[in-house]
Amino acid sequence: MPARSASTAAVRELESYEKYGRALHLLPEVPSIGFGIYYQAALGGPRPHASGIVYEICYINRGSVEWWIENKLYEVGPDHLFINRPGEWFGGSNAIFHPCELYWVQVEFTINGALPALTLQATRRLHNALAAIQARFFKAPPGIRTHYDDMLAEYRQIQPYSTLAARGALHQILVSSLRAHDQQQRMPRSPAIEATLHFIERNLTENYPVEHLAGIANMSPGYFYKRFLEEVGYTPGEYRMRRRMHLAKYLLRDQQMPVTDIAFMLGFSTSQYFATVFKKLVGLTPREYRQIVRP
């Protein structure tokens, strides 16, 4: 978990933070487990050196976070899981924690050994399944927060059978995460909604009414609105604005153009309106964001 950074005025203290590692001698296969609440946008801290085959499963309970990995931006909203692969590290100076509540747990595999309390065959199946995950983030399964809370409770107060209880919660997190990923991979968005998403992406600077988008999907406006919200998680207007802000983050990070030019490029009538929307959705002004993430 990243340490707090004070490099900009936008970074604030944490409301709550817990982190437990192998020093407690509870689960040797868990290098780190923890929980944090951020009430203001906060930049990730320095990346500690990590060795071994370590996967990290992060659960965003509320709020949002974003990671830049190999110059690609991943934005993760509430009730989603984000899985870091070996060689990556959760947070780091390329991450911003917007006001949010999150949990994380790391699991370390060895090349030829079995995880404690599991057979070598079961360990390899888990490892192979984690390595095969395609989506960088996906909807969390129901009840996963309870498993994190149960595991953390054993770390807070170690007592008889804590190892057994904590390991049981860890296995629940692993299995339910893999099942949720597999289920969502089998349930892609409908072709009609995908068609409207592609249209919105090609016309981000335009404000097409719901009736126009519903016509592309060959649905009535009311039914289209309901289906879009169910499949995408946002209304058409919210989705379009969030995609504009996503593109704005790339421009603020990689381009030297003035904020005013970015606002006009994205279809905003004034830079002030752009800054207001950006601040509302991101928690930082465009200039604050640029100061944090510019390479």
Query: Averaged in consecutive runs of 10 residues, what is the pLDDT profile of the chain (295 residues)?
Result: 38 70 89 90 64 89 85 88 80 75 94 94 96 90 96 96 97 97 84 95 91 95 94 91 93 86 93 93 88 73
- Single out the residue in 148, 165, 185 at which a domain terminates: 185
The residue out of 185, 213, 231 marking a domain boundary is 185
**Structural domain contains residue 72:** yes
**Total length of the chain:** 295
pLDDT of residue 88: 73
Asked if residue 149 and residue 103 are part of one domain, the reply reads: yes
pLDDT at 292: 78
In a shared domain, residues 223 and 145: no
* pLDDT of amino acid 260: 94
Specify whether 27 is located in the same domain as 122. yes
- Domain span at residue 234? 191-293
> Is 3 contained in some domain?
no
- For residue 90, the model assigns a pLDDT of 54
Within this chain, do residues 158 and 206 fall inside the same structural domain, yes or no?
Answer: no
For residue 39, the model assigns a pLDDT of 85
Among residues 185, 205, 227, the one where a domain terminates is 185
Confirm whether pTM is higher than 0.75: yes
Same domain, 77 and 115: yes
Residue 174 sits in the same domain as residue 229? no
Encode 154-165: b = buried (16+ Cβ within 10 Å), e = exposed.
bbeeeeeebbeb
Domains identified in the chain, total number: 2
Please name which of 179, 181, 214 lies closest in space to residue 196, comparing C-alpha atoms: 214
